[in-house]
Structure 1
């Protein structure tokens, strides 16, 4: 199964952006939970 390089080129920045967004949202959510627990 050979992946088309054009598809990979188009998808890689999208996956990178999605991963970065999920990482940032997760970090903020974790901070909110920690702040809530520390009250």
Structure 2
């Protein structure tokens, strides 16, 4: 068998999806917080 072992993909896919979803949501909240901080200081 040459190529990707799809069992690894099946196991890691939900973890990667969850991590990217969390990073997206946390990143959006962090950007809003930073923008609010910068607008308040100016």
TM-score range, shorter chain: 0.7 to 0.9
| Cα root mean square deviation, aligned | 1.0
2:27 matches 1:4: no
Q: How many residues align?
A: 39
- Unpaired segments of 5 or more residues in structure 2? none
Q: TM-score, normalised by structure 1?
A: 0.88
Q: TM-score, normalised by structure 2?
A: 0.83
Structure number, greater radius of gyration = 2
